[in-house]
Amino acid sequence: MRSWRAAAQLQALLAPLVLAWATLSPAEAEWARAALILGVLRMCRGTGVEWTLVRRF
């Protein structure tokens, strides 16, 4: 249970940073930036259990 909370908190911290980096950094191709953003959004969506743990703490 503790590892799920740590993983959820890590995702909550890293997702905005990766999104900011993807939008502000000069990318060689637009599709690479879009793929990175979509990957982060998919990661953030999670399973529901992780987001419940994030909301508690």
Average pLDDT over residues 32-46: 69
pLDDT of 49 > 60? The answer is no
Report residue 9 as tokens. Answer: 């908190």
Asked whether the predicted pLDDT for residue 6 surpasses 60, the reply is yes
Confidence of residue 31 (pLDDT cuts 50, 70, 90): low
3-state secondary structure of 45: helix
Per-domain residue ranges of the chain: 2-56
Structure tokens at 12: 């909550």
pLDDT score of 28 more than 70 = no
- % of the chain surpassing 90 pLDDT: 0
Question: Cα 7 to chain center, whole Å?
Answer: 11
CA atoms within 13 A on the CB side of 3: 0
The DSSP letter of residue 28 is S
Q: pLDDT band for 29, please (50, 70, 90 cuts).
A: low
